[in-house]
Amino acid sequence: MEVILKEDVPKLGSRGDVVKVAEGFGRNYLLPRKLAIEASIGNKAVIEQMKAASVRRSAKEKAGAEALAKQFEGVSIAFQRRSGEHDQLFGSVTSSDIADALAKKGFDIDRRKIQLHEPLKTLGEFTLPIKLHKDVTTHLKVVIEREVVVE
């Protein structure tokens, strides 16, 4: 079955691509979720218009992401957490914690854009990639320090 993708689908293609997929995958997954439409002559004309609009929108989003990446230069965030003997944290620092700290600094970044494969569980200085756009990635410096406990 040939379909035209209306959205980017991981490991399959990007918006506007005409791809050949298995009947069941197209009928049971792509079409009901409105990720694709069947490839016909009429639909191909509609997709050409959608592609042109998509290119314009993508260029605008990329420009916005590049401007935001420039603002990230020199920005770092610091956390103070309780830790054990070998600099292991009691708990961890997650992408949600980082997104909240960035929000306090005035950056509205979705936590899913922060490329943190697993939570940070040790003291130290880390450089994390933040994927603002499919072509724009910036880096953020995260410092985790030992919390001073006053007795």
55 and 83 share a domain? no
Q: Could you report the per-residue pLDDT of 52-81, keeping only the tens digit for each?
A: 887 888 889 889 889 888 988 888 999 999
User: Over the stretch 5-46, which tens digit does the pLDDT of each residue have?
Assistant: 888 888 898 877 889 999 999 999 999 999 998 888 888 777
CB atoms within 10 A of CB 95: 21
Bin 91: left if φ > 0, else alpha if -120 < ψ < 50, else beta.
left
Helical spans, DSSP H, in the chain: 23-25, 41-71, 95-104
| Residue 120 placed within a domain | yes
Q: Is the dihedral of CA 52, 57, 60, 65 positive or negative?
A: negative
- Whether 151 is in a domain gets the answer no
**What CATH number did the domain enclosing 10 receive?**
3.40.5.10
Q: Which of 38, 62, 86 is the last residue of a domain?
A: 62
CB crowding 1-29: b at 16 or more within 10 Å, else e:
bebbbbeebeeebebbeebebeeeebeee
Question: Is 67 part of any domain?
Answer: no
Task: Determine the structural domain holding residue 11 and report its residue range.
Answer: 2-62
Please tell me whether residues 105 and 141 are part of one structural domain: yes
Mean pLDDT value of segment 107-116: 89
